[in-house]
Structure 1
Amino acid sequence: MLTQDLDVDSVRQVLEHDGVSYFISKPEEDNGFCVIRTKGQDETAWGTACSTGTGKVVTNQTTGIPEVVTLVTDGYATDDLEEEGWTKIQENLLIR
């Protein structure tokens, strides 16, 4: 998924945590959700991933950012993920 595949009008920043900015958006052509991460001014530390699923929508590991992120849908029970070592940093975002 490249940034030109995103619906740019839907991109919104949801959180900044430990120097990493987290954004969510919709894909340009499909239903679903995307997670985008950037780290400060490091032009090589960014990544995006999209999914059309429900529940645990997408997981992304980005070069230059040590944590893996997962995006979940509203109301998704994250207890199992948290027991596996994921940390909730926002209602819909977890890292480990």
Structure 2
Amino acid sequence: MKSILGDLMKWSSVSLVTASGLALLLLSGCSGQTGITALDRDATPEDALPAFITVPDPANRESARLLATRDGVRYFVAESDDSKTACLAVVPPGEPPNWVMGCGPNTGPGEILETTGAAMSSARLLADDSETEKLEPGWTKVTENILVRDP
């Protein structure tokens, strides 16, 4: 009897540990946090946001990465310290203040935010692995994470 009870307790402990580990794995996989891979790489001098850009809370200026340049317009991404918010800065050539920066929730695939500035194209920031095969008319894919629509 003692041996059977010991075996049951051993299996119960193993099952409990296995179930707990599986639950943790499933929960972390379902957190909805998709992210933007470019934010994971080391920064280069080109990634630095121009000094004239005011970074809104909760974005971290030091997290900024240059995602793309198209027709002289630079597209930067930055994120909050907890990675739950992503921000897009659209910086056209020329003197400031002809730039725009917006932030949105970085919690899943798809569009994080859309920005539009005066006399500028609109830009959308997308999370990694967003479906861009069927773009809306007028939108152009610049990178995996950036779509633009010219004025």
TM-score bracket relative to the smaller structure: 0.7 to 0.9
Match of 1:48 in 2: 101
1:10-29 matched pairs, under 5 angstroms: 10-27=63-80
The one of 87, 108, 123 aligned to 1:34? 87
Cα separation, 2, equivalents of 1:27 and 1:84: 32
1:1-96 matched pairs, under 5 angstroms: 2-5=54-57, 6-27=59-80, 31-52=84-105, 53-54=107-108, 55-65=110-120, 67-80=121-134, 82-96=135-149
**How far 1:19 moved relative to its partner?**
1.3
**How far 1:42 moved relative to its partner?**
2.2
Deviations 1:18-62 (A, max 9, x none): 111110000357712110011123202101111114321100001
Gaps of 5+ in 1: none
- What SS class does the counterpart of residue 10 from structure 1 fall into? strand
- Provide the TM-score with structure 1 as the length reference: 0.83
**Aligned positions, number:** 93
**How far 1:15 moved relative to its partner?**
1.1
Moved over 4 A (4+): none
**How far 1:4 moved relative to its partner?**
4.6
Using a 3 Å threshold, how does the CA distance of structure 1 residues 28 and 63 change in structure 2: closer, same or farther?
farther
CA contact (8 A) 1:46 1:64 kept: no
Counterpart of 2:112, as a letter, is: V
